[in-house]
Chains A and B, each alone.
Chain A
Amino acid sequence: MTSTLQPRKDGSSNLATGDRPVSQRFRFDLNTLPTIAALVIFIGMIAYGEIAYGRILQANTISNLLINNAYLIVLAVGLTFVILTGGIDLSVGAIIAFSSVSGVMLANAGWDPYLVMVLMVLMGTAFGAVSGVLVQYFNVQPFIATLAMMFLGRGLASMLSTVPERLSDESPIRALATPIKIIDGEKVNDLVVTPGVMLAALVVLGGFFVLHRTRLGRTVYAIGGSEQSASLMGLPVPRTKLAIYIISGTLAGVAGVIYTARLGSAQNITGIGWELDAIAATVIGGTLLTGGAGFVLGSVVGALVLGLMNVLITRDGGIRPETTTIITGGILLVFVILQRFVIRQQR
């Protein structure tokens, strides 16, 4: 009965010992399946759009997709951290409302616009810190803690103003939305990015680095696997849980800056339901709501799937915009079922 020491599945896996080729560093295991599925759907949507409507797979469409969804990508990265630990953050949409309304008002009051941008981000940090403290030190359920912060943020934004607050066109904040041509194509078919998009890309890279190349990131995955195990392994669980809500809040602040720069105005009703869009993007991108499995890059794909869906619906013209939510729901449902399947396979 030497078999007890060997992997349970079958004898063959013993052959693969020790040094494996570098090519196998990207393991194809069940954890990556939902993310791959999201990627497949994204590519499928592009292909369908190209065939049915044309002019999808071209520089300006892709540019607009990125520019219009940069804020959502940033939010989804933040949510990925939170959801990986098995938590949730419902406050991000309200944080955007509060930080953008107050930011615009401060800028219009003559504050230094660069300072204002930093402040907008720090407001998100503050909200996240409060959520994190509630969750970690007062043992409040993440759902409830961040729900409270959501109402608080929305309420504060409404107290500041209930009408759109416009940013002057010359404000340096708007510079974040200045188009920069990368490739000058025919007519308007240019590949364009904005500093906002570049910021979002930095956030994605940073998120990837933190999750996969730092101990903080590994602790995030460990907490998602089993919080109790993580703390018995001597990992800094309280500090990490606090950190992820701070990260999520901060990134909501960043998303607020990016969105405000693009729109040029802010309103207290901005961002209603965006927390749910970001959660949807994260889940579609393959992150398990129970935590422990998922990728930042998957969440990016998830955000782009949602963005592309809007583009396709607009292009079609025949589909009523109201059906967007129904389609989002449908896609989400498919992915959640897919995840169930994956979890069942793992047991």
Chain B
Amino acid sequence: MATSLPIVEMKDISISFPGVKALDGVDFRLYQGEVHTLMGENGAGKSTLIKALTGVYKIDSGQILISGEERRLTGTADAQAAGIATVYQEVNLCANLTIGENVMLGHEVRGPFGINWRATYRAATEALKGLGLDHLDPRQPLSSLSLAVQQLVAISRAMVTKSKVLILDEPTSSLDANEVENLFTVMRRLRDQGVAILFVSHFLDQVYAISDRLTVLRNGKYEGEYLTRELDRTALISKMIGKDFATLKSLGRERQEHHGEPREPLLTATDLGRKGSIEPTDVELRRGEVLGFAGLLGSGRTELARLLYGADKPDSGTVVLRGKKTDLSTPAAALANRIAFSSENRRDEGIIRDLSVRENLILAVQAKRGWFRPLGKKEQDEIVGKYLKELNVRPADPERAIRNLSGGNQQKVLLGRWLATKPDLLILDEPTRGIDVGAKAEIQATVAALAEEGVSIVFISSELEEVVRLSDRILVLKDHRKIAELDNGPEITAETIVAVIAEEGVTEEGAA
């Protein structure tokens, strides 16, 4: 399968940023016709390595050989010219243009009268066909496609340039299981055509399903290169985090033993709904309970959570909180009633990039107190110190700008922000998305500990395993309505939930 000469060979690559050695003598080889996964925790240097390969970052030392020739790439366009195409986690296409225009942007077929649109669209159709996307009409606007299909369009764009190397940087983090399968089908097809694919993902299952070979990085250093079939998961994780991961395993057992005794309800919502986002739904939440929201992306999980917090105004239903009917139609009202909501959109609705860790952390407490009674320096230090320590935020430097922290640590700061308000109900929407195994385990442990202390938690995640592991009860959503509520127990697994979602209303599937 693999020819003797790697198509990409990176030797002894080092890159430093002020104060950090992002990559330290890393080697990487990529062969034609393989799927090669780059593994490592956040901050291990995966993105830096990719940016070095695509010419976004300059390397301080080392060599990059492409098809055996040393190259110094200077940017995305240059990398594309050298046959290296990249598809990023957030789909980077233009939603205002058509599918075909996106596929061909920068490579339009030109004739004597400028761009020949007919030939351009024909080429776009060819490129889509090459990935088995024959059913897409290239003249439709891109915005008519789901995110998952947009990603496939981004890949076909890479194929227009006849790229020999395709880099997929966390392409699956916002896809559901079927969409991932579609992506993998396309990836296998390209691999068989001889394209070398560099894949990055946090999902171990996916890594094992698709990749032929792995390179593991840790703290900017090269850990090793392995054949996927020769390295089991436990070994892989310990190579990534460099220590055992018993925390992950013990957690599930604790939670499953934990539930059982009925507790008093904290919040009871009846017929809570909003037109176009979620049908009227009943939600009951007891004190110290973790209620998981499970469902595919777009099933209404986030929408329901936003109604509970008042981020969107419900247009039907009532909420009884601590035995009293309560109006929760604005975030301020929810906050005053000790309900906190951590958004799934960490970058836009969570952190404030340019503020420091300290400022980000105290934001919600300060807002709750009102801006006319600023927190004193001492109080701030107390709160910030407490949560940085408890949540194990690294680096534990409160004055560092939050944008310089890894995703996992940003998420911990956000968790701290809401914990500082001492909530009775904490809504966590995708708190572990796109963060590494270590930080994920820590956040899960925090959630379990909070429930132990009597905080009620709504836990939303695309990773069903995680929902099952943590939740006392699971509310299953599909197509903007609740389709089931399951009491968690040893017999419930991720497969149970998938089955519930898959079997419900099979006849309507075409409309989904």
Contacts and interface: CB of A to CB of B under 8 A. Distances in A.
A and B physically associate:
yes
Interface of A: 1, 3-11, 13-14, 16-18, 20, 24-25, 27, 29, 31, 209, 212-215, 218-219, 221-222, 224-226, 228-236, 292-293, 346
B507 interface: no
A215 B106 contact: yes
Interface stretch (B88-96, B264-272, B315-323): B88-96
24 contacts: A3-B509, A4-B179, A5-B182, A7-B149, A11-B511, A16-B137, A17-B134, A17-B136, A20-B137, A212-B114, A212-B115, A214-B114, A215-B106, A215-B108, A225-B96, A226-B92, A226-B95, A232-B76, A232-B86, A232-B88, A233-B93, A234-B106, A235-B77, A292-B96
A8 B509 contact: no
Nearest to A20: B139
B294 to A, nearest CB: 16
Given A18-B125, A29-B141, A236-B77, A214 B96 contact: no
B512 A3 contact: yes
Interface in B61-105: 75-77, 79-80, 86, 88, 92-97, 101, 105
A25 B120 CA distance: 13
Contacts of A226: 92-95
A7 B108 CA distance: 24
Interface in B102-144: 105-106, 108, 110, 113-115, 117, 125, 133-137, 139-141, 143-144
B250 interface: no
Contacts, number: 119
Contacts of B148: 4
Contact of B94 (A4, A18, A29, A229): A229
Given A8-B145, A17-B135, A212-B115, A221 B178 contact: no
Contacts of B144: 7-9, 13
B490 interface: no
Given A222-B105, A226-B95, A229-B92, 15 more contacts: A7-B145, A8-B144, A8-B146, A20-B137, A25-B117, A29-B141, A212-B114, A212-B115, A215-B108, A225-B94, A225-B95, A226-B93, A232-B76, A232-B92, A233-B105
Contacts of A215: 106, 108, 110, 115
Contacts of A6: 135, 149
Contacts of B105: 218-219, 222, 230, 233, 235
B510 interface: yes
Contacts of A221: 94, 96-97, 101
A277 B277 CA distance: 40
B146 to A, nearest CB: 5
Contacts of B152: 5
A219 to B, nearest CB: 7
Given A5-B182, A218-B108, A27 B97 contact: no
Contacts of B512: 1, 3
B473 interface: no
A212 B117 CA distance: 9
A213 B112 CA distance: 10
Contacts of A346: 95, 143
B157 interface: yes
Contact of B149 (A1, A5, A209, A236): A5
A213 B509 contact: no
Contacts of B108: 215, 218
Nearest to A30: B141
A292 B94 contact: yes
Given A218-B108, A233-B157, A7 B140 contact: yes
Nearest to A29: B141
Contacts of A233: 76, 92-93, 105-106, 157
Contacts of A17: 134-137
B274 to A, nearest CB: 16
A128 B77 CA distance: 26
Contacts of B101: 218, 221
A5 B80 CA distance: 27
A8 B95 CA distance: 14
B106 A235 contact: yes
B160 to A, nearest CB: 11
A148 B174 CA distance: 44
B106 A14 contact: no
Given A215-B115, A218-B105, A231-B76, A5 B96 contact: no
A234 B137 contact: no
A291 B108 CA distance: 21
A235 B110 CA distance: 16
A3 B139 contact: no
A18 B182 CA distance: 21
Contacts of A212: 114-115
B113 A213 contact: yes
Given A5-B133, A17-B135, A233-B92, A209 B77 contact: no
Contacts of B94: 221-222, 225-226, 229-230, 292
Nearest to B143: A346
Contacts of A4: 146, 148-149, 176, 178-179, 182
A83 to B, nearest CB: 13
A234 B77 contact: yes
B106 A214 contact: no
Contacts of B511: 10-11
A122 to B, nearest CB: 26
Contacts of B178: 1, 4
Interface string B308-336: 00000000000000000000000000000
A243 to B, nearest CB: 15
Contact of B115 (A1, A214, A222, A224): A214
Contacts of B75: 234
Interface hub of B125, B134, B135 (most chain A Cβ within 10 A): B135
B180 to A, nearest CB: 10
Nearest to B161: A234
Contact of B114 (A16, A209, A292): A209
